[in-house]
Amino acid sequence: MGRLLLVLLIVVTVIVLYRAFGPHTFQRNAIHTAEPVIKGPDDDGEFIWKLEKERFKQQRARELAEQQAQERKLRQQRLAELRRQQATGSTPPGAKPGDTPSPKSSDTPPAKPGNTPNTTPGDTTDSSATPQE
pLDDT tens across 80-110, in order? 999 999 998 866 556 555 555 555 555 555 5
pLDDT tens across 19-58, in order? 888 877 766 655 556 666 767 767 788 888 899 999 999 9
The pLDDT confidence band at residue 116, using thresholds 50, 70 and 90, is: low
Q: Which long-range contacts (CB under 8 A, 24 or more apart) does 78-87 make?
A: none
Reported pTM = 0.36
pLDDT of residue 36: 66
How far is it, in rounded angstroms, from Cα 28 to Cα 37? 18
Contacts of 124 (CB under 8 A, 6+ apart): 114
Q: Is 35 exposed, middle or buried (0-12, 13-18, 19+ CB in 10 A)?
A: exposed
pLDDT of residue 5: 92
- 17 or 121: which leads in pLDDT: 17
